[in-house]
Structure 1
Amino acid sequence: MSTEGRSAEPVSATSALESAGFVRLVARADGDALAASGLLASALADRETPFQVTVGRTIAARSERVRAASGEDDATVVVGTADATEADNVLQLAAADRPATLEAVDLVREMGATPDPVLALAGVVAGGSDPGAGESEWLLETALERGLVEQRPGVAVPTADPVDGLAYSTRLRAPWSGDPDATREALADAIDGDSDDLDADDHRAISSLVALDVVGADGAVDAAAASIGRALRPYATPEHTFATLGGFADVLEALARTEPGTGTALAMGHDVREAALEAWREHGRRAHAALEDASTGRYDGLFVVGIDDGPVEAIAQIAAAYRSPEPAVLVVSDGEAAIATRGADPLGATVEGVARELETGATDADSETAADAGAAVEYDIGHRRGYLRYDPDVDESTIIAAVREFR
């Protein structure tokens, strides 16, 4: 159950891809990896190299796809962590200290192709970084020079209609989140007229109202102010399918976990806007509804959210940003859990340790349920997040105890 992997060195990786007769791209299920795979797929298409893109929800799922690959002239690129990646024709983009999108950008440029700066920047945002920060500075400068992005007042949402965008966004949490009618009522004083024809003052009024509602909501924690701040003054994308970089990132995140086929098509530049938005709306609605009805518990350094059903990773990220009084959040549902953190500390050891604990049943020596969960445990690790899938019969207290042990 090793989570160790080697990131691709640009020269050797480029050589392998340029000589491959067929390339398999196996991506982690998040927006960063989806953007990275889209950049690579476009570069391969430009070279007329046949390829296939698939998304693996867990390390085990990706590892199985890597092992199933065949053909001496084939190459496999894993965007994320997987086992069985030591073969010469398997490349891995799994750096712990930078978004996979930036690794993909390096590869694309080495292949002589020009990466789409809007997709790349959306991937950077989905990976938890600010557009233009650090290594992505040149991408933002390029996009600005080409008129692909422009910073303006407002909030980062994917749609021109702020009611639609704000109601389903998982980049914020307000009293009206998940409910478009309540969102429309909350924005009534800020929107005067046609929401498709908003000027800078309108966007400024909307962002002020949203910020006040977010930080003033019942249950909001101090971190909420910083979290909503990152969603304000977005980079608009006037010629793109989605209205802002942050909104594009939100859609990529939703699709990676709910409709990866549509997400892959979107990242490759296909016209799937309406299908993508429908999936994104349903993802946001479910996340906010589940958080509204959730049970919570607080431990030293850990905030636990119990839900009946919902997208656990999105809920964990929302709770960590806006509702958790502790730096780490654990969301527990029926047979799956997610961990998210506000800090930069890696979660790999925690998630892998919990998975091992569940497999051996060591959290409860007298529990046949935990012992029987064994081979059913799968997990994944991303930037500031972790995911677990296990036997639904394992109770919540078992998961909480395991996470507390390894945090």
Structure 2
Amino acid sequence: MNYQDTLAFATELDAQDQLGGFRNEFLIPKHNGKYAIYLCGNSLGLQPKTAKLYLQDQLNSWETLAVEGWFQGDDPWLAYHKKLIGPLSNILGAKPAEVTVMNSLTVNLHLLMVSFYKPTGKRYKILMEAGAFPSDQYAVESQVRFHGFDPADAIIEVKPREGESTLHTADIIKLIDDNADEIALVMFSGINYYTGQFFDLETIAATAHKAGAYAGFDLAHAAGNVPLQLHDWGADFASWCSYKYMNSGPGGISGVFVNERHFTDTTLNRFAGWWGYRHDQRFLMAQGFQPEVGAEGWNVSTAPIMLMALHKASLDIFEKAGGVPALRAKSELLTGYLEYMIKQVNTNFGDDVYKIITPTDPAARGCQLSVVCKRNAKAIFNYLADNGVIGDWREPDVIRLSAVPLYNTFTDVYESAQQLANALKAIN
């Protein structure tokens, strides 16, 4: 598309946007009496207007049915999680039996590594991207220590080339191949939180399997953002959070994917709990864990219904919008326009103050653009916030901006670029 640096162009794109009405499904924060420009869905998605209703329905069931709410009412809690599986399997490119909803992201990664990090002999190392989100780094470090290994030896990190910010798939492949005899697990983000790079998960999984290792993914910044085909790509496992692009509330419920080829593998360890026991005999309260077939066999604790209700409010909007394929088409245009407008600001000032480190290829990114501010970075970030543009800050000099197709507009993008320009005028 031939973008233009005019408000008229942005408003025309908004008028043509078939998904534009979904913005009205969300509660947008205000700044000085006007709607803020919210470009922070990569950190916390906006609240669906239906969230209070969905939550209130379950509070009403608790009020009127108490414990019988597990078995009675319009949405008996015992099977409530099943209402989420269809929409999630569509978002993740998985079979319904491969998906379940449980816990929070890092807890799930630990539980999954109990099953899929199986160090033996010289095959004990975990390969991951350098600069992964700290929680992933801490989880992997603690897992290798738990098995008696030194993280400095047992963790292999793929680093960007000198002078670059993002990774080359060829370098990931080479490092896996070079260490094929020692790698037990390849554990990668779907999208790197800092750079916004969307990795080639299919190739990473295939290369890991060729090396004799498992492949698992943290999809915190990918789920609900970019097209995923976990089953077809051959991923062994994955987990994600629901509070970013899936708009399910701060600390919202997570979920896991386990490839169906592992359902009957009795060599896999797992930390068991009552909620993962086979459903048809759960209430017999028998000793000896017998897992439910499918990803639900990895469940541990009782379903948190209130968190699931908030999750369902957002997932229902995804379904109405046509799912990730429809959202992705708009997302590529929207993020492309944001990229264009940031570059226009640089051109107009004759100085590349704003350097985008996220890949330019739409296939290698999602909604997010990570922008290095070459001078007065924190002051510029504060200026944006003071003028109603909500992004987020990452040390030492990166502003992350995400134009989310469910609720952001092309006018949002245009006006945020105007504030980026105004910041340069105001801050010497």
Q: When the two structures are superposed, what TM-score results if normalisation uses the length of structure 1?
A: 0.30
The structure, 1 or 2, with the larger RCO (C-alpha pairs under 8 Å, 6+ apart) is 2
Larger radius of gyration: 2
Q: When the two structures are superposed, what TM-score results if normalisation uses the length of structure 2?
A: 0.29
